[in-house]
């Protein structure tokens, strides 16, 4: 009996290694019907399917360079999205050549969903792939058995939580950051009575950044009605981990920054329990000022 595990995801020729989780969701809506007063179902069929691929990975800079805030559309005439179910062998390691399962999506849209970073843990970026059918009737995936793995992925690029500056002041004692890219994709149903979608587009981008801090002084600053983003940009960092070391130096331009030029800073509940320090959450909601990116991303940032 075969067993399988995850593998890297290839997006238009860029192999995103360091994958931590993969999910392939067929998104099936099944029609099951009965009539004439009968008890048992008499008819079943696939009514619709909206296949999705979800994956999370460690190499955030590489991933954002390939698929950033604008998402990435891939077409049937170009490079596809390719995933594998990597065989694992009883009593051994991974299976050899021509023993794996290959899933290919020829066309669709890839968008970043979120980034999570917590104290003492590596940061992860999460993506969703909306897979399109070529004609509404052909399944958006092709699945082939007895395949060889492609590429040589490694886990050599990792990040963790970094500091945050809000309106020019250090938040301090940051414990967790979550960046929600807030990308809303049209999930138009298939048309002309066909089961699979043939159209996806980005409808809205409404990113938000949530920061959890142990520094209660932030409550006196933002604990009332919050504040508008001021003249000094707010910046949230991810700190790069050093291979075989500890952390890349602050002055080295290998960290990741997320800069907000316009928007609001809102307090979320401060809470505490007996025996531990309280924590406050801040939410930054960026808005478009007509000039700068709504959320400016740099993968070659120095921490300042």
Once rounded to an integer, what is the mean pLDDT over residues 285-301?
Answer: 95
* Whether residue 77 has pLDDT greater than 90: no
pLDDT in tens, 254-267: 999 999 999 999 99
Q: CA dihedral in degrees (195, 184, 236, 247; nearest 10)? A: 0
Once rounded to an integer, what is the mean pLDDT over residues 107-124?
Answer: 97
Residue 124 Ramachandran class (φ > 0 left, ψ -120 to 50 alpha, else beta): beta
217 three-state secondary structure: helix
| Residue 192 confidence (pLDDT) | 87
Q: How far is CA 122 from the centre of its chain?
A: 14
Residue 272 burial class via C-beta count within 10 angstroms: exposed 0-12, middle 13-18, buried 19 and up? exposed
d(C-alpha 81, C-alpha 184), whole Å: 20
Contact 102, 84 (CB under 8 A): yes
d(C-alpha 212, C-alpha 280), whole Å: 6
Q: Label residue 3 by pLDDT band (50, 70, 90).
A: very high
Beta bridge partners of 114: 126, 180
pTM to 2 decimal places: 0.94
């Amino acid at each position: 009996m075969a067993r399988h595990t995850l593998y890297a995801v290839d997006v238009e020729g860029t192999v995103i290694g360091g994958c931590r989780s993969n999910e392939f969701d067929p998104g099936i809506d099944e029609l099951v019907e009965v009539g004439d007063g009968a008890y048992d179902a008499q008819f079943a069929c696939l009514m619709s399917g909206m296949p999705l691929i979800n994956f999370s990975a460690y190499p955030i800079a590489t991933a954002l360079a390939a698929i950033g805030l604008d998402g990435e559309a891939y077409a049937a005439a170009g490079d596809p999205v390719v995933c594998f179910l990597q065989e694992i062998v009883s009593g051994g390691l991974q299976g050899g050549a021509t023993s794996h399962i290959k899933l290919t999506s020829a066309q669709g849209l890839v968008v970043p969903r979120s980034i999570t970073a917590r104290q003492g843990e590596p940061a992860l970026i999460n993506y969703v792939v909306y897979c399109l059918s070529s004609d509404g009737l052909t399944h958006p995936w092709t699945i082939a058995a007895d395949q060889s793995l492609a590429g040589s992925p490694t886990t050599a690029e990792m990040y963790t939580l970094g500091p945050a500056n809000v309106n020019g002041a250090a938040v301090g004692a940051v414990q967790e950051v979550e960046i929600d890219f807030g990308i809303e994709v049209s999930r138009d149903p298939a048309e002309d009575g066909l089961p699979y979608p043939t159209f996806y587009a980005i409808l809205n981008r409404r990113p938000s950044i949530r920061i959890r801090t142990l520094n209660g002084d932030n409550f006196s600053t933002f604990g009332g009605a919050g504040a508008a983003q001021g003249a000094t940009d707010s910046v949230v960092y991810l700190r790069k981990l050093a291979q075989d070391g500890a952390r890349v130096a602050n002055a080295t331009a290998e960290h990741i920054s997320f800069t907000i030029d316009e928007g609001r800073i809102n307090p979320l509940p401060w809470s505490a329990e007996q025996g531990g320090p309280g924590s406050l959450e801040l939410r930054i909601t960026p808005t478009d000022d007509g000039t700068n990116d709504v959320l400016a991303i740099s993968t070659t940032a120095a921490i300042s």
